[in-house]
Amino acid sequence: MGLFAFTCNANRELVSIMCRLGWAVSYEATLANLHVLAADSESKLKLLGAFTDTFGPQFLLLFDNVNKMQRAWQHTLGHKDELSSGTAATVIELEDVPPGALRSEPLVEKIKAKSRLKLTVKELRDDIDWPHMRGIGAGTILRIWLKYVPSIAHHRGAVEELFTTTHAVHRLRLRKSKIHTTRVTNIDESTTVGAAKVLANLLGQLFIVPVSLCTWMIMLCGDQLSIDRIRKIIRYTMKGDTPFDQHKWALPVIQLWHMKWAWQKAIFRLHWYSDTAKGTFGLHHDAIYLERDKFNPEKCDFYPAHHILEDRFETAVLEALRLICEQRSELVTPPNTKLLDAVKIYFEPHGPFSSCTFEELLEFSHTVYDRYIASAAADDAAGHLAQRNADMYGEPWTGGVTNEEPDVAPSAVPRLKKKAKRNKAVASAQPARNFSNGDQVLITLCHFMRVTFWYMELCAATAEGDIGRVFEVLLRFSFWGANSTNYGNELLELACSFLYEFSDDLKIAVWNNYLVNPSGLLGHWLELDLLQEHFNFWIKRLFNSKSHDFDGKHLSEAVGLNIAGISKLRETFPGLFGLKRGGQRHTNASTVHDINKLGGHFRNHHILEYEAGRDQPYVVKNEFGAGHAKLLEGQLAIFLNRTAGGGSIHVSEDELVSSSLPEYPATPVTVCEGVIDVGAFITGE
């Protein structure tokens, strides 16, 4: 009970009362127990390090900076607010690694041979499996339909088989990951010198001697800032005396959660047009139409942004289903029928599609993908095709607005701050004229559907543990087109590694350990950097005294070495008394009204129907094509020439993405029976 009170940051007086009642031991005894548990955790770390010389590393290292503001009650010359910075790290045991996969010599030889110089833009383009993308896109569409139309839910098994079998690429073996946290330190890993000290500190905690790493590599994982510092260490120490001094044992592996968040930000940067005057449609208009006018597209908090993208994407997919059913059955529901009621009518008993087979539904979903998500859909909407295929893209609309609806109030439009960096402003939605007599509303929607589908697939594939699907959808061109050049560089680095430098065994080893599953549950895989953010949250939560620092015995030992167990205890202990889990689970609000409202807007203004010559005051560019053009124009050659010698330092105007911001989500995106959720972080204990 005393340990549980400690995890809750219980008041000392409350702990004292519990002691008097015999419910808990004293606070001092609790701390002593924590130090005993820490000693046991430390012995496990040493045991992991002991086998490195003989069998190679049986673990990967994950680390991140952790910050805590210490507030002064009264400011004086010697007493003021102070930001404490340190580093927290996690050791995760490797699973399913082929023997000898982590030997350094094959990779070192490939780097010396400058094999990556063979990479071409054509090879990057040809590496994209478009049939796979179409198949998984159709499956994503089907999942949304089954989520909201109960009468077709009996097809759930066939739909899920698309993800588990038909379009599966490299599904990880379901397991519960073995996770060990390390001592927290006062070292600031945001500098190159600091990152080098962090690596030395972690090897010391594992009791690994330098000679053990002469022929082996350790996977070093982190966010973009951490990986950049590791690469600089490798570059700066290339002329060292030994393989250990040269850091040939360091294998930097960029992690995916911050990358996913960066793509989320890129979507808003591309599609958020500041003006929402009458007749101006798009992401900004729809967010305000759904009364989410407090959302800040520059800060782009993860959860609100995720829900805006998810709700708009799902509404468009459901409206597309209504249009297809209307086209195929010639049954037109009244204009004032709510969207979800309208689509249910077609599949209910005695409806035109009451006996719809899975094959027919799959054909519907392929039609929606081709009509709104495939790259050719935007070309059709732009009027670039010689002859429009009405069977594929739907009949055009020529009748104007069906029902007038209230416009978005200008006062609801938030005032945006001036962009700090010019290159990001260039990548945003820009004013444009309609020279091709196309439909600029539909063009923008098609671009939105494509990039949001890629984002949703990143979320779903990660949660389901199919790292192969994750790599299929990684946006090698689109980050460049969105001017997120740092992650554009990182994806080129991954392409060079997997196409030219990694051995087959090393590819398998990296893939099999790219995600972590703390619970061992289906649909609960998550990114390693998000796991570290979760631990950082609890470390800062227990940073409960102005006299403590990250190097102090309390935080580094009693808290740092036990933080994984502390997290599990806080989650599971109330269940011993028949209580429900605590407040770390977020209740999912119903979005039925949001979908019906936005669906009504889509129907009234025929947003998903082609209308020749329909103008908008802005246009969203095709970021995929723009990125492809950038690489062709010389960015790929610049990257290869800069990184071919090893070290791979990436320099750009973009600010490095790090986890130094104070607000981060504590729960991952999960998938249960095909439905995406962001409810809770589950340890599974």
pTM of the model: 0.87
CB 321 within 8 A of CB 328: no
In the prediction, which pLDDT does 560 show? 74
Give the phi and the psi of residue 69 in degrees, each rounded to 5.
-85, 125
In the prediction, which pLDDT does 474 show? 87
Single out the residue of 131, 620, 50 nearest to residue 369, CA to CA.
131
**How do beta strands 179-181 and 515-516 pair?**
unpaired
Q: Which two tokens stand for residue 234?
A: 């490798």
Alpha carbons 397 and 392: distance in angstroms, whole number = 15
Single out the residue of 192, 121, 35, 39 nearest to residue 625, CA to CA.
121
CB 253 within 8 A of CB 506: no
CA distances from 539 to 89, 182, 595 (A): 11, 12, 39
CB 138 within 8 A of CB 365: yes
Q: Facing residues of 180 across strands?
A: 91
**How do beta strands 218-222 and 59-70 pair?**
parallel
E strand or H helix at 662: none
Interior angle at CA 124, CA 123 and CA 127, nearest 5: 80
In the prediction, which pLDDT does 130 show? 95
Single out the residue of 564, 603, 58, 515 nearest to residue 337, CA to CA.
603
In the prediction, which pLDDT does 7 show? 66
Alpha carbons 372 and 450: distance in angstroms, whole number = 8
Question: How confident is the model over 637-667, as pLDDT tens digits?
Answer: 999 999 887 655 554 434 444 444 444 445 6
Q: Domain extents for the chain?
A: 1-42, 51-427+435-685
DSSP state of 102: T
Q: Which two tokens stand for residue 390?
A: 């009405």
355 Cβ neighbours under 8 A, 6+ residues apart: none
In the prediction, which pLDDT does 390 show? 64
Can you spell out the DSSP letters for 462-481? HHHTBHHHHHHH--TTHHHH
In the prediction, which pLDDT does 621 show? 86
> Mean pLDDT in each 10-residue stretch from start to end of the chain (685 residues)?
67 70 72 78 86 85 82 69 81 94 92 93 94 96 96 95 96 94 88 91 90 90 92 89 89 93 93 83 93 91 93 97 93 93 94 94 96 90 68 64 51 41 53 70 94 95 95 90 91 94 96 94 92 84 64 74 73 68 59 94 93 87 92 94 71 45 56 67 52
**DSSP percent split of the chain into helix, strand, coil, nearest 5:** 50, 10, 40
Report CA torsion sign: 505, 506, 512, 513. Answer: positive
In the prediction, which pLDDT does 659 show? 44
Can you spell out the DSSP letters for 554-616? IIIIIIGGGHHHHHHHHHHGGGGGTPPP-TTSPPPPP-HHHHHHHHHHHHHTTTTS--TT---
Question: Exposed e or buried b for every residue in 643-668, given b needs 16+ CB within 10 A?
Answer: bbebbbebeeebebbbbbeeebbbbb
Residue where the block lists tokens 């065994």: 505
Single out the residue of 492, 426, 476, 473 nearest to residue 650, CA to CA.
492
Single out the residue of 127, 91, 83, 223 nearest to residue 549, CA to CA.
83
Alpha carbons 242 and 248: distance in angstroms, whole number = 9
In the prediction, which pLDDT does 641 show? 92
Alpha carbons 446 and 609: distance in angstroms, whole number = 11
